[in-house]
Amino acid sequence: MTLWSCLGLAVDYFNQRLYWADAKLSVIGSVHLDGNDPVVAVSSKQ
């Protein structure tokens, strides 16, 4: 997934995941710190 307008990043060291919010794509997603297992947690395209 390509980020267009990243509003924030957060690192969850306990679960080894990186979380982001993208305003242009209207998504909140995450990926394992090794780059595997990308997940779109919330998608709200209006």
Residue 22, in any domain of the structure? yes
- Other CB atoms within a 10 A radius of the CB of residue 23 amount to 12
Q: Is the pLDDT of residue 31 over 90?
A: yes
Residue 1, in any domain of the structure? no
Residue 21, in any domain of the structure? yes
DSSP string, the chain: ---SSEEEEEEETTTTEEEEEETTTTEEEEEETTS---EEEEE---
Confidence of residue 46 (pLDDT cuts 50, 70, 90): low
Q: What's the pLDDT tens digit per position in 18-28?
A: 999 998 888 99
Residue 31, in any domain of the structure? yes
**Parent domain of 19:** 6-43
Residue 14, in any domain of the structure? yes
Please tell me the total count of domains within the chain: 1
